[in-house]
A and B are shown apart, each in its own frame.
Chain A
Amino acid sequence: DAGVIQSPRHEVTEMGQEVTLRCKPISGHDYLFWYRQTMMRGLELLIYFNNNVPIDDSGMPEDRFSAKMPNASFSTLKIQPSEPRDSAVYFCASSLRGSGLGTQYFGPGTRLTVL
């Protein structure tokens, strides 16, 4: 398996622009997670899905952030409008429910820079 795939790997945009981050989870996994990592706040869970349904979005910072999972093989995290403080590395992870709640497999991340 190719693992979790994220695109783009790097994104540079200007404040106010819409940004869409994409994730393809490992085939067969039924959980998908979006995380954000910054130097100040570390690794934060933003939202996670189970069987394509959002379960907990309490980590989403504000209404500018939205996430969708239209099918089992694709998810997006959208920021509209983007702000400089959104600059971070965004990770997608997937897992399969099992013993110990399932190992999470992380993608390589998308480094977002908002100017």
Chain B
Amino acid sequence: DAKTTQPNSMESNEEEPVHLPCNHSTISGTDYIHWYRQLPSQGPEYVIHGLTSNVNNRMASLAIAEDRKSSTLILHRATLRDAAVYYCILRAHNTGGFKTIFGAGTRLFVKA
């Protein structure tokens, strides 16, 4: 199964952009790239996902490398409420179903 690699932690200043990287060098053609985040004492929540093209939504942007072996989650203006663990996930739809493989995640610290 394809896996992801993320830095253990990152730090950002409030109201500055944050770029969270994820490496997935063994990604297959059917793998979608999903990002979730987990706030303290809560379940993970969806942030964004993509397949090949860059994606934007109200929460963040997702930049996907042309070879799809890496991606970057971009928070345009970090707030204190963005402090969380961010997971880069590959979701593959194999024959018979699909699996979700969570990486170790990046803990984002946001300084006021």
**Interaction A to B:** yes
Query: Which positions in A face B, CB cutoff 8 Å?
Result: 4, 33, 42-45, 48, 50, 55-56, 91, 93, 100-101, 103-109
Segment touching A, from B14-22, B67-75, B76-84, B93-101: B93-101
A104–B44 Cα distance when bound, in Å, is 9
B91 vs chain A, min Cβ distance (A):
5
Contacting residue for B100 out of A33, A42, A107, A109, CB 8 A:
A33
Interface on chain A toward B: helix, strand, loop, or mixed SS?
Answer: strand
Query: Most A CB atoms within 10 A — which of B46, B100, B105?
Result: B100
**Contact size range, B:** 20 to 34
Say yes or no: B42 contacts A108, CB within 8 Å: yes
Nearest neighbor of B47 in chain A, beta-carbon distance: A103
Instruction: Give complex CA distance A95, B12 in Å.
Output: 32
**Please, could you name 6 A-B residue pairs with CB atoms under 8 Å apart, sorted by A?**
A42-B105, A44-B102, A100-B32, A104-B36, A106-B44, A108-B43
Considering the complex, give the chain A residue whose CB is closest to the CB of B31. Answer: A101
Which one of B34, B45, B102, B105 lies within 8 Å of A100 (CB-CB)? B34
- Cβ contact within 8 Å between A50 and B97: yes
Contacts of A108 in B (CB 8 A): 42-43
- Residues of B near A43 (CB, < 8 A) are 44, 87, 102
How many A-B contacts if CB must be within 8 Å? 50
The residues of B that contact A42 with a CB separation of less than 8 Å are 102, 104-105
| Residue B51 interfacial (CB < 8 Å) | yes
* Contact yes or no, B32 A107, CB < 8 A: no
Contact with A along B21-59 (1 / 0, CB 8 A): 000000000001010100000111110011100000000
Report the bound CA distance from A91 to B32 in whole Å. Answer: 22
Task: Name 14 extra pairs, CB < 8 A, besides A91-B44, A104-B100, A108-B43.
Answer: A4-B43, A33-B100, A42-B104, A55-B97, A56-B96, A100-B32, A100-B91, A101-B32, A101-B91, A103-B46, A103-B49, A104-B46, A106-B43, A106-B44
Once the chains bind, are A45 and B100 in contact (CB under 8 Å)? yes
Chain B residues with CB under 8 A of A101: 32, 91, 93, 98
Expressed in whole angstroms, the minimum distance between the Cβ of B64 and any Cβ of chain A is: 12
Q: How far is the CA of A33 from the CA of B42 in the complex (A)?
A: 16
